[in-house]
Structure formats: structure tokens, C-alpha cells
């Protein structure tokens, strides 16, 4: 069964590109346009991994990560944060509980490698 990935990204073009690419790599993909919708879908859909942008309306990616980590069901859920704002945001995301923080624009091949690695680590845990 394909791993279920939740993409949380407010920019429609980026969200659609990630959806298309990850679906093409064999993942089941669900997508949210902001952090509030992402939180709702995480609770409803129980994804295997989340890829989220940081800078979003409603609930930003940092707040989303903190909210998820505060819930026992998401304690070990792999989360990858994508940001266009550099090292400080990446560091903040890791401190908030993200497993990885990567730069935008995203290199899809590298993102898939990160996803596969984190899913494999979760299986072993």
C-alpha cells in the first residue's frame, strides 16, 4: 500500500506540482491550502508523512508543527518543512519538531529521498 503524504502549501502552483510529482512517485497524496486545513486533514486522514510550507495564512507551518507535536498521535509522524527564507527558518522548524527542513525552490528528487528515508526510519522504530 502506498504511503499517504499530506502536502500543506498555500501557493496553488507549488501545491499542484508537489501533488503531481509525488503521485508520480507512487505516493497517495492529499493536499491542504493552509495550516488550519492541514491540521484538520492530518487528524481526519492520518497521513504517513507531512510536507509543509512555513509561510502560510491562517496557521503557519511553524505553528502547525507545534500543534501536531502536542498531540500524542502525531508524536512520531515524520514532518518535512519547506521554506524560502533560509537557515533561521530551517533551524526554527527543527526546534519546533520538524524532522527535516529544506529550502525552496524544492529539488523534487531530493525531497523524495528525504520522504523515503523518513518513512523507512519510522517503519524501523
- Residue 11: which CATH number? 3.40.50.2300
Domain that holds residue 87: 4-124
Q: Nine-digit cell at 49?
A: 508523512
Which pLDDT value is given to residue 50?
A: 98
- Asked whether the beta carbons of 67 and 39 are under 8 A apart, the reply is yes
Q: Nine-digit cell at 109?
A: 528528487
**Number of domains the chain contains:** 1
Which pLDDT value is given to residue 96?
A: 93
pLDDT in tens, 63-102: 999 999 999 999 999 999 998 877 888 899 999 999 999 9
The CA angle 84-81-56, to the nearest 5 degrees, is 65
Confidence band, pLDDT 50/70/90 cuts, at residue 57: confident
pLDDT in tens, 5-52: 999 999 999 999 999 999 999 999 999 999 999 999 999 999 999 999
Amino acid at each position: 500500500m502506498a504511503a499517504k503524504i499530506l502536502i500543506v502549501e498555500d501557493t496553488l502552483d507549488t501545491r499542484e506540482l508537489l501533488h503531481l510529482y509525488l503521485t508520480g512517485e507512487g505516493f497517495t497524496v492529499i493536499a491542504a491550502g493552509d495550516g488550519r486545513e492541514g491540521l484538520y486533514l492530518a487528524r481526519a486522514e492520518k497521513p504517513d508523512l507531512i510536507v509543509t510550507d512555513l509561510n502560510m495564512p491562517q496557521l503557519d507551518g511553524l505553528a502547525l508543527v507545534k500543534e501536531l507535536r502536542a498531540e500524542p498521535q502525531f508524536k512520531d509522524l515524520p514532518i518535512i518543512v519547506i521554506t524560502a527564507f533560509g537557515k533561521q527558518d530551517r533551524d526554527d522548524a527543527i526546534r519546533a519538531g520538524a524532522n527535516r527542513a529544506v529550502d525552496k525552490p524544492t529539488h523534487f528528487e531530493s525531497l523524495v529521498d528525504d520522504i523515503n528515508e523518513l518513512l523507512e526510519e519510522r517503519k524501523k522504530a
